[in-house]
DNA sequence: AACCAAGCCAACCGCCGGAGT
DNA sequence: TACTCCGGCGGTTGGCTTGGT
């Protein structure tokens, strides 16, 4: 009812984030932990909407985020989960702790949708149709969102959150089965077989403090070093896939050590606790690829004992153990 | 070499539910 | 109980990049 906008539109900066802004945000989160986003712009001097800050953090600066290079297994997982859950990207993302819902959503919209369509067009198209089949069974990739909500704008599930979570829990077993099927279709696609994504050049260790981040950014901002500040607009691509993770992920890793629940911790899409991963990630950042993640996936699938309907299973499985196995 | 179209992705927008007062 | 605030989610868009002509 007449709720004011989350931030005044005047004097609020929009558009791509600059490295400086990222730095400010990361530094702030390091100090205070994520959450209380409302206070972020005022406390940091960022001319950004609180929402924008949160988004930037969760989609980009948060530790443990892997960008680009979706593996076959990830693809399959997404396809299956999408078939099961519809366009609940946050829920889907909770099964892929390294991915953000935005990333998954984008990937779905730009790649997977088409892929599935193609597969269906080519029908019978054997190959990986284990996955495709599952997806096509439900909604064929398009308009998937409608399967959930329907009501009104069709934006929300018709069921309240609690119910949705319960439903998700019951879906877990179905999901598992589907995943088992998918993976068993290609038993040869073992972690070892999956070519790890190329190691980003210069990915050594991570910033674990504001200082380090600053140092990283220094190189970043140096005119010679890549695209320079102006390119910040395109924090995208180049800077993104290579340098950014260094500063963001790790820098923030220690930050989240202090994140005391803040905003986190209610739904299935809950973000994992990164508090332990800081240094470990550094070591593994070098060449991990995604293979280990799928070892975890496999063990998750095989571990029938653990599944008492926990939501955010992967999130449970993943960060609590040894994160280094993951990244 | 220049132009155009398609693809991709980061960010924005609006809505909703939960928590707090 | 009613109201407000805040954070989260999914859909959509704008702008940059890449590929084709």
Give A275-322 as a 3 state SS string.
CCCHHHHHHHHCCCCCHHHHHHHHHHHHCCCCCCCCCCHHHHHHHHCC
Band of the pLDDT at A10, cuts 50, 70, 90? Answer: low
Mean pLDDT of A54-72: 84
Strand C lies under 7 A from the Cβ of residue A10: no
| Number of Cβ within a 10 Å radius of residue A195 | 12
- Element spanning A106, H or E: helix A101-107
* A231-CA/B12-C1' distance, Å: 20
> pTM value?
0.57
* A166-CA/C15-C1' distance, Å: 41
* Chain C nucleotides covered by protein, CB below 7 Å: 3-12, 15-18
Examine the pLDDT at A223 and tell me if it is beyond 80: no
Q: Which residue has the tokens 């993640």?
A: A293
Band of the pLDDT at A177, cuts 50, 70, 90? Answer: low
Nearest nt to the A152 alpha carbon by C1': B15
Band of the pLDDT at A61, cuts 50, 70, 90? Answer: confident
Examine the pLDDT at A80 and tell me if it is beyond 70: yes
* A228-CA/C9-C1' distance, Å: 33
What do you get for the CA distance between the two ends of chain A, in Å?
45
The reported pLDDT for the residue numbered A265 is 33
The reported pLDDT for the residue numbered A110 is 86
The reported pLDDT for the residue numbered A14 is 84
Mean pLDDT of A175-192: 46
- Residue A2 backbone dihedrals phi, psi, to 5 degrees: 55, 30
Name A residues 114-153 whose Cβ lies under 7 Å from strand C. Answer: 144-145
Q: Looking at the C1' of nucleotide C2, which residue has the nearest alpha carbon?
A: A1
Range with the lowest mean pLDDT among A79-83, A129-133, A278-282? A278-282
Mean pLDDT of A241-251: 36
Strand C lies under 7 A from the Cβ of residue A311: no
Name A residues 167-226 whose Cβ lies under 7 Å from strand C. Answer: none
Strand C lies under 7 A from the Cβ of residue A161: no
Q: Looking at the C1' of nucleotide C14, which residue has the nearest alpha carbon?
A: A15
Band of the pLDDT at A113, cuts 50, 70, 90? Answer: confident
The reported pLDDT for the residue numbered A121 is 67
Examine the pLDDT at A315 and tell me if it is beyond 50: no
The reported pLDDT for the residue numbered A9 is 57
Q: Looking at the C1' of nucleotide C10, which residue has the nearest alpha carbon?
A: A155
Q: Looking at the C1' of nucleotide B7, which residue has the nearest alpha carbon?
A: A110
Predicted confidence (pLDDT) per residue in A120-142, tens digit: 766 554 444 334 444 333 333 33
Examine the pLDDT at A305 and tell me if it is beyond 60: no
Examine the pLDDT at A23 and tell me if it is beyond 80: yes
A29: CB partners within 8 A, 6+ apart: A57, A61, A252, A255, A256, A259
The reported pLDDT for the residue numbered A286 is 33
Examine the pLDDT at A96 and tell me if it is beyond 60: yes
The reported pLDDT for the residue numbered A193 is 33
| Number of Cβ within a 10 Å radius of residue A158 | 12
Percentage of chain A with pLDDT > 90?
0
* A260-CA/C12-C1' distance, Å: 33
The reported pLDDT for the residue numbered A222 is 41
Contact yes or no for A250/A63 (Cβ under 8 A): yes
Q: Pick the residue with more confidence: A109 or A225? A: A109
Name which of A157, A170, A158, A171 is nearest A87 in CA terms: A157
Mean pLDDT of A245-260: 36
Q: What angle do CA A272, A325, A35 make, to 5 degrees?
A: 20
Q: Looking at the C1' of nucleotide C16, which residue has the nearest alpha carbon?
A: A234
Mean pLDDT of A185-214: 36
Q: Cα(A319)–Cα(A75) distance, rounded to whole angstroms? A: 21
A161-185 and A72-85 are packed helices; what angle lies between their axes, rounded to 10 degrees?
140
* A231-CA/C20-C1' distance, Å: 26
Predicted confidence (pLDDT) per residue in A140-171, tens digit: 333 333 333 333 333 333 333 344 444 444 44
């Amino acid at each position: 009812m007449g709720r004011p906008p989350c931030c005044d539109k005047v004097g609020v900066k929009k558009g791509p984030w600059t490295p400086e802004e990222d730095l400010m945000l990361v530094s702030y989160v390091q100090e205070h932990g994520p959450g209380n986003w409302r206070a972020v712009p005022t406390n940091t001097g960022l001319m950004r909407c609180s929402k924008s800050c949160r988004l930037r953090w969760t989609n980009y600066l948060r530790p443990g985020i892997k960008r680009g290079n979706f593996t076959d297994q990830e693809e399959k997982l997404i396809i299956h989960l999408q078939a099961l859950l519809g366009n609940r990207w946050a829920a889907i993302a909770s099964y892929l702790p390294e991915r953000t819902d935005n990333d998954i959503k984008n990937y779905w919209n730009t790649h997977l949708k088409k892929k599935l369509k193609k597969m269906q067009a080519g029908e019978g198209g054997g190959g990986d149709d284990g996955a495709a089949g599952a997806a096509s069974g439900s909604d064929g990739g398009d308009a998937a969102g409608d399967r959930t909500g329907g009501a009104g704008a069709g934006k929300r599930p018709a069921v309240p959150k609690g119910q949705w979570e319960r439903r998700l829990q019951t879906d877990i077993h179905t999901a598992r089965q589907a995943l088992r099927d998918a993976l068993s279709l290609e038993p040869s696609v073992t972690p070892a077989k999956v070519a790890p994504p190329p190691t980003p050049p210069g990915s050594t260790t991570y910033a674990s403090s504001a200082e380090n981040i600053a140092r990283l950014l220094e190189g970043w901002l140096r005119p010679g070093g890549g695209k320079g500040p102006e390119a910040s607009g395109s924090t995208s691509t180049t800077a993104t896939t290579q340098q950014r993770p260094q500063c963001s992920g790790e820098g923030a890793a220690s930050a989240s050590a202090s994140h005391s629940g803040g905003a986190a911790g209610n739904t299935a899409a809950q973000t994992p606790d990164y508090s332990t991963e800081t240094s470990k990630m550094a070591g593994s950042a070098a060449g991990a690829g995604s293979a280990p993640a799928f070892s975890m996936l496999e063990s998750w699938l095989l571990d029938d004992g653990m599944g008492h309907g926990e939501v955010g299973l992967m999130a449970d499985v993943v960060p609590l153990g040894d994160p280094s196995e993951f990244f």
